[in-house]
Amino acid sequence: MVTSVQTISINGCGSVVYNSITYTSSTVINDTVKSIANTCDSIIRRTTINVNLVKTTSLTACANEGDVYNFNGQALITAGSYTATLQTSANCDSIVNLYIVFKKINTQNFTGCDSVLVNGIMYYQSVTLSDTLKSVVTGCDSVITIRNIAINNSKKTYVTACTPNSSYLFFGQIITASGFYTHSLSTTSGCDSLIQLYLVLTQTQTQNLSGCGAVVFNGITYTSSTIIRDTTRSLVTGCDSIIRIVNIQVSNTVDLQVSSNTTICKGNAVTLSAASTTGTITWVGFGAINPITVAPSSTTTYTVTASNGSSCLNTKTVTVTVEDFSLNVFTSNNLVLPGTNVLLQTSATLPYTVFKWEPVAFFPNQNFKTQQIIADSSINLFVIAKSSAGCKDTAYLSIIVTPVDDIYVPSGFTPNGDGKNEIIRVVGQGIKELDFKIFNRWGQLVFATVEKGKGWDGTLAGKPQPAGTYVYVVRIKMNTGQVKEKRGTVTLIK
């Protein structure tokens, strides 16, 4: 059996489908058909597949917006991707892909007064800005944005004004206080024209000052009435902003003469006087009385004024110093025996001089502060002294001279609280027992005692008795057993 060979050629562009198989490249396929009667090939079929490749070309192009771009007979006016198929000698198309960009120009206009905010940036001057967006594919400019920024400046006018009035009219606005004020006027450019006013309303300040004899103002002493004008100028306008008028009224000082400070002895009085040729005299606490007589118990200051009916007063003071001078005379024992030598001593609350002792016969040296006498019999003595200011005081002392067997009752006592001669009592030597009684002039018993050394202080039931003469009766039993009785009078002195 003779084997036959069949040859087939299949051509395609880009790919060939044969027996449901896609071929993208040229190839030869051998296919055999076997004989049924024997096992040898009866037909050999040889298929030649020819795959011709499609040529693809990618192009880019840039054009201006509004232009027409010719692409294989196509009139292109918008950006995008375009495809053109071209016939080749192998009857396979050649594909051309085009991406074209039409450059677009955007123009933006911005206007403002004094400033414009564009994309977060504040512009204060006119300027033109260009912003380009490039195509990622073609690399050429695809969008150009042009921003025209126009700044129109507002016109500013500065003016000043001064007025002595309480108000000022500014474009219909009534202004009553100094300061800065602004008014806007519209212009053809749409930007306001600003008029700025600095206004000074002149203020007048009046101040009244008064004084007696002189007035001090700004460190200057004025002794007569006057008017002072003082102005404060505005640094901006140069006009007077404040006019200050100071009225100074100086009144005449009231003359006043007054007694000098003085010193008096306690218990004495002094006359104080004042004089004025232009005013009325008034002593504080005494009214219009002048002069005044005072007897203060302690140092006191007195105030006197002279007034002429205005606000002017002249005030002075006088101090009266009260000297409390007290003299004391004492001895170690004023109950002595006859012929005893007695030492007398003095003391005082202030420096002093002694000028008199009584009885004079006992004291030949009258100015001695210490004396010494021989007591033969009982004696009442006193001494007078004066302080450096001339205050006098008298001190009293009783020297009781008693025989050993005698008794004595003083003739008087002064229960006035000065610590001197405060009680009346029985004195004597060798007293064993006593009964001492005192009666007033009506026979009323005012004091009684059986105690030696105890005396009467001038009171009855705690109440001071009046000054005067009182009768006493004393019954004494001596150490020797002798009984004596004595009667007499005693004077209570205040």
**Are the C-beta atoms of residues 48 and 9 closer than 8 Å to each other?**
yes
Tell me the pairing of strands 203-212 and 240-251: parallel
Residues 229 and 279 in one domain: no
CATH code of the domain containing 294: 2.60.40.10
- Domain membership flag for residue 109: no
Distance from C-alpha of 142 to C-alpha of 104, rounded to nearest angstrom: 6
**Are the C-beta atoms of residues 108 and 69 closer than 8 Å to each other?**
no
Residues 193 and 237 in one domain: no
Residues 453 and 492 in one domain: yes
Distance from C-alpha of 482 to C-alpha of 437, rounded to nearest angstrom: 20
Distance from C-alpha of 448 to C-alpha of 435, rounded to nearest angstrom: 7
**Are the C-beta atoms of residues 484 and 473 closer than 8 Å to each other?**
no
Distance from C-alpha of 322 to C-alpha of 296, rounded to nearest angstrom: 7
| pLDDT the model gives residue 203 | 76
Residues 412 and 491 in one domain: yes
- Domain membership flag for residue 71: no
- Domain membership flag for residue 42: yes
Distance from C-alpha of 287 to C-alpha of 457, rounded to nearest angstrom: 45
Tell me the pairing of strands 69-71 and 370-375: unpaired
**If you ran DSSP here, which 8-state letter would residue 390 be given?**
-
Cα 353 to Cα 321, 391, 419, distances in angstroms: 20, 10, 22
Residues 213 and 296 in one domain: no
Which residues, at least 6 apart from 36, have a Cβ–Cβ distance to it below 8 Å? none
**If you ran DSSP here, which 8-state letter would residue 456 be given?**
B
Following DSSP, what letter does each residue of 31-46 receive, concatenated? EEEE-SSSSSEEEEEE
- Choose one of 201, 235, 265: the last residue of a domain: 201
- Domain membership flag for residue 460: yes
Upper half-sphere CA count for residue 220 (Cβ side, 13 Å): 6
Number of domain units in the chain: 5
**Can you tell me whether residue 149 is helix, strand or coil?**
strand
Distance from C-alpha of 417 to C-alpha of 414, rounded to nearest angstrom: 8
What is the pTM (predicted TM-score) of this model?
A: 0.41
Find the Cα–Cα–Cα–Cα dihedral 446, 452, 455, 460, rounded to 10°: -30
Strands (E), 135-269: 141-152, 156-163, 168-170, 173-175, 179-186, 192-201, 203-212, 215-217, 220-222, 226-233, 240-251, 257-258, 262-265
Residues 471 and 492 in one domain: yes
Tokens of 170: 């500014």
- Domain membership flag for residue 29: yes
| pLDDT the model gives residue 300 | 96
Residues 437 and 486 in one domain: yes
| pLDDT the model gives residue 188 | 60
At 433-484, the pLDDT tens digits run 999 999 999 999 999 999 988 999 999 999 999 999 999 999 999 888 889 9
- Domain membership flag for residue 66: no
Distance from C-alpha of 243 to C-alpha of 163, rounded to nearest angstrom: 12
Number of H helices, E strands in the chain: 0, 48
Residues 182 and 225 in one domain: no
Domain containing residue 215: 203-251
- Choose one of 37, 52, 67: the last residue of a domain: 52
- Domain membership flag for residue 366: no
Residues 421 and 477 in one domain: yes
Residues 193 and 171 in one domain: yes
- Domain membership flag for residue 361: no
Residues of the chain with pLDDT under 70: 1-3, 33-42, 87-91, 136, 141-142, 186-190, 234-238, 240-241, 310, 403-405
CATH code of the domain containing 457: 2.60.40.1220
At 84-143, the pLDDT tens digits run 877 665 667 778 888 888 888 888 888 877 788 888 888 888 888 877 777 767 777 667
Residues 207 and 196 in one domain: no
Which residues does residue 356 pair with via DSSP β-bridges, in sequence order?
384
Distance from C-alpha of 90 to C-alpha of 13, rounded to nearest angstrom: 8
Residues 422 and 484 in one domain: yes
